[in-house]
Amino acid sequence: MKLHWGPNSPFVRKVMITAHETGIAGRITLVRSPVAMNKTNVHVMVDNPLSKIPTLVTDEGQVFYDSDVICEYLDSLHTGARLIPLAGVTRWEVLRWNALGSGMLDALVLWRDERMRPEGHQSVETLLAYQQKSSATLERVENEIAALEGLPFSLGHIAIGCMFGYLDLRFADVDWRDGRSASARWFDTFRTRPSAQCTEPSVADKLVPSDPSIQTAAHPATLK
């Protein structure tokens, strides 16, 4: 299998943690594929017309877009405990946690894009809206993190873990741990998992060398 990949994308990280947790990572060839909202990457568009990562191409030539779709596909390829339960109350709890973490990641990516605009071109209203949404989400997670701890490890855990990891990577000035000790403790435990350690951006960046012919397809300042 081939995965259009980037070391800093939290959505790619979701897929890679899933791949490691399911024992499938060794079957995936990583292709460093820079993408940006305001650019196209022709190498990615051969497989995904949306020019987005992650994009997975199976050995049979099937192509899957979107981290949730890819994660569910990978979860169907192993015989161990499912990261996405097939039925029951736990399934809906896992999907809810995944939606919360992934939705927060969507907001964080857009918030970062707005913050990267030149001074004088940023929307104060937009920045405030993302700040408020992020703060409210973090408070919700803090208040309910004990419930997540009570669930078997799942895609919900992965999404929330990637959310905290992306905050550390791109929002160092936002002290999300302040007043959220339960979340901080949970994330400290999450980070000890081998699947989380080997997908840390600083570690993952060394896995696949940059290809200058592909790198120029996207503007470096807007890479996620």
Task: State how far the Cα of 64 lies from the Cα of 44, in Å rounded to an integer.
Answer: 12
Confidence of residue 78 (pLDDT cuts 50, 70, 90): very high
Task: State how far the Cα of 68 lies from the Cα of 224, in Å rounded to an integer.
Answer: 18
pTM for the structure as a whole: 0.91
Question: 């605009």: which residue's tokens?
Answer: 117
What was the pLDDT predicted at 83? Answer: 99
Which residues, at least 6 apart from 194, have a Cβ–Cβ distance to it below 8 Å?
A: 20
pLDDT, tens digit, for every residue of 84-95?
A: 999 999 999 999
Confidence of residue 123 (pLDDT cuts 50, 70, 90): very high
What was the pLDDT predicted at 209? Answer: 64
Confidence of residue 218 (pLDDT cuts 50, 70, 90): very low
CA distances from 78 to 72, 75, 95 (A): 11, 6, 19
Looking at 65-74, 77-86, 205-214, 215-224, which range is the least confident one? 215-224
β-partners of residue 29 are 2
User: Which amino acid is residue 145, in one-letter code?
Assistant: I
Show the domains of the chain with their CATH numbers: 2-81+199-222 (3.40.30.10), 89-193 (1.20.1050.10)
Task: State how far the Cα of 141 lies from the Cα of 177, in Å rounded to an integer.
Answer: 12
- The answer to whether residue 210 scores a pLDDT higher than 70 is no
Rg (CA), the chain: 17
pLDDT, tens digit, for every residue of 46-63?
A: 999 999 999 999 999 999
